[in-house]
Each structure stands twice: as structure tokens, then as C-alpha cells.
Structure 1
């Protein structure tokens, strides 16, 4: 079957495989992606946070534990929303809405922080979403996101341990197919420049650009650490709405 974004996780087999994968000791989300997201976010105490493509809201729980005033997740997968609802059950100021981020009605000047972790690379039209994010942020509000690195989306190939990467058609924007967890996933390839320009055109001051350079202390094995030094898996951008 072919999947775009959140519907991939509404296949029960894919959902179970993904959740098992996230439990791996050295999964890339926890060793490479999340540490950078925390660095870019900085202080979250008393912040109102919107999370686009929030998954099972595990990160939402972490934000609430660190004192954010309110957390709202937007998630298109029914399976993920069910898992998120269970995760947030004990938190009065945490909630998740079942809808695509493209369909959310973004209230004006409502949030201090908008985050999106590894979800925007499924979208063709990020420009409209970025403008909506800019609108929903309060003055001086911040937008922090991660995506699969364009070096990766330009070299998508069947799953398994990769031994080489050949960047091809880098400047040709569009959907690429990837075989992952037994299904075919479509991810939208665009360049680093495309992401940067989309941020600026939406009105953001781009404050930081990061890549997923590994830090040794996050890895249990030298082998995995050395393998992660070969290629950037993720791209991060952080921007601010002017007051």
C-alpha cells in the first residue's frame, strides 16, 4: 500500500512496528533529533505550546512536566490520537485534536511556541502552513521544527542498514517514495534553501539552522555513533515572530 503522512500509522501493523522501533535504545529520534529540539526550544515554563504532527504526545508529556502552561497536539492518525489521549489523561492542560495540520483553524496570537517534529516533510504546501503558524503565534513567539534532511529525501531507497547515499535530482522538488516498515511512504523533497525561504516569506526571523551532528554521549555503542557521523539525517530551523 502507498501512504502519505499520518495515514501510514493507521495501518495497525505499521503502527505497532513504529512504536516498537521507538523503543530501540539507539533510535535516531532520541539520539539525534530530540536533543537538538530541546536545545532550540530553550525555556518552556509557562509557555502555551502547539505541536503539529504530535504523534503519541510523548513529547507533550515532557513539555508539561517541564512546566509549559498548556499543550495542544494536532495529529492526523487515529491510532496516534488514541495513544496520545492515553498519555495526556493525567494532565489537565494537555489535549490532542484529530485532524491534519493543514485543516486546523489557527487562532490569531494564541501560542508562545509552535513545534513540529518530523512531520512537515510529508506536506507539499508548507508555505500556507508556515503563514498560518506565523499568524497563530504571539509577538516574539517561536517556531521550531525538524524534518528529514534534504540529503536523505533526495536519496530515498529501500529500507535496511544503508551503506551509501547518492544525492540525485536534488533541485527537483516533489514527492519521493520510500520503503519503510513494510509499506511505501511518500515524503516531499525540497532543498534546505526552500525551507529557509519559506520561513522568511512567512515573516519569520530565522534565528538558528542546525543539522543532526551526533554527540557521543547519546550513544551506547561506538559503531552506531560512527555510522551516524557519515550523513545528516535531520534538518532543524528555528524562527521568531517579530513583536
Structure 2
């Protein structure tokens, strides 16, 4: 009986963030000082993206679209955010309320990607919620102009492989890497809810890009940099294990 209940309560990415309690907890986490998103993932992502002046940008799983606002302030030509969560899409629309940019409330899998419409596509920590990335990478490739760039971040495979050793509600002190080459669905407790994620190896992401036609430009693991941290203890702790994998690729010119 308990197994049936657990299966019933598992949620895919967009539905997970539409849960009232999960969404509230997530928003609280994002307001904390020295969050991994701001100290580790975003600096690397921005470095790999480079100049965005006059770029037409697609953001897959855009969340609150705060980065879209930054892009527009830095001279981007346009920004389209695709977001499967109703609650996240609503926040994203508020973020860009004084612009003419688009927030599309639809899943990454179901959206109809326009042909050769973007110079840059990004996906921040959204692709590990997608069961099959083959059609997604193919659609992104088609949606980019020649020489268009694709930069995305995912939870690092050493994190997604196994969540044993983590006591919910306390800072994680032990990380167990297990079943690494057994890829596929993982169900984990996070932010007070139960969510479905998909584990892939570093090699998987690399070959998925190649098979879609992309040329891979860079691979990073978000090595902590002291200047992005207020708290030295948090900085030292983040040096223990990689939290994110970030890849940059481009469509041939």
C-alpha cells in the first residue's frame, strides 16, 4: 500500500513546482545568501554564453525569467521563455510585465519549436526532468540559426545517480555515488515533495549533443570561485563535490 501511495505522489518537474508547499519552499531557498544557483551555476553559464547583444534568446524551463530580464537589459534583441509550471510561468510574466517578451506556459517536450528563430538557446537545470532528450536536442538544433549556441546546466550526474546519505532538512554531509551507469528515472525527496528526475552520465550528455549535430565547445563542473561567496564556510563546503554540469555547444555555421 505504501509503495502505491509513493508512486501516486511522485511528480514530474512542472507539476512538482505547481505544488503550493514546494513552490513556497523553493522561492524561500532562492532568496537565501550564497545559493548554489547564484554562486556556482550562473557565473559559469554567463561565462559560456558570452556577449548577448542583439541575440534572440530561447530559455527552456525559464523559471521566474529573472535571467531573461538581465539579458534584455544587456542588449538582447528578444527573449522567449518556455515554462511548464503554471506558478513559475505566472512569476515569469510578472518579471517581464513591462516588456513585450513572450513567456509560453508549455512543457519543453510539447512546445512547437520554430525553425531557425534563435541565436542562443539555454536551459538552466530543467533538462534532468525530461525523460527523453533526443527529440529535445533535435528540436533545439533546428530552432537555432547556423552558428547558434546551446548552453545548458543540469544537476551533476554524481548527484543524480543516488540520493542515499542525505537526511532531509539538514545540510548534506555525505554523497554516495552508486548505480552510476544504470541510467533513467530517479525518484527523490526534495523541497518537501517527491519529484521525478532522470539520471544520465556525463558521457550521455556529450553524445546526445553530438548525435543531434552539435559541435561541443566546452564542458564545466562549476568549480567554486571564492569571489562569488559571502560565507567562507559555504565556499569550503562547495569544494567537496560538483553540484552542476554545464555544457556549451553550437550548430555548425
List per-residue Cα deviations over 1:126-169 (Å, max 9, x = no partner): 01100000000000000000000000001224433111111101
Equivalent of 2:61, from 30, 42, 53? Answer: 53
Is 1:134 matched up with 2:144? no
Matched with 2:237 is: 227
Matched with 2:155 is: 148
Is 1:74 matched up with 2:82? yes
Identify which range, 157-166 or 59-68, moves more after superposition: 157-166
Equivalent of 2:216, from 199, 206, 213? Answer: 206
Matched with 1:166 is: 176
Moved over 2 A (4+): 157-160
After superposition, where does 1:1-243 map in structure 2 within 5 Å?
1-92=9-100, 94-157=101-164, 158=166, 159=168, 160-243=170-253
Give the RMSD, CA atoms, in angstroms: 0.9
After TM superposition, the score normalised by the length of structure 2 is: 0.94
SS of residue paired to 2:180? coil
User: C-alpha separation between the residues in 2 aligned to 1:144 and 1:59?
Assistant: 14
| Partners of 1:156 and 1:177 within 8 A in 2 | no
Query: How many residues of Structure 1 are paired with residues of Structure 2 in the alignment?
Result: 242
The offset of 1:222, in angstroms, is 1.3
| Partners of 2:134 and 2:208 within 8 A in 1 | yes
List per-residue Cα deviations over 1:191-210 (Å, max 9, x = no partner): 00000000000000000000
SS of residue paired to 1:163? coil
Identify which range, 68-77 or 177-186, moves more after superposition: 177-186
| Partners of 2:163 and 2:176 within 8 A in 1 | no
SS of residue paired to 1:151? helix
Gap regions ≥5 residues in structure 2? 1-8
User: C-alpha separation between the residues in 2 aligned to 1:166 and 1:218?
Assistant: 27
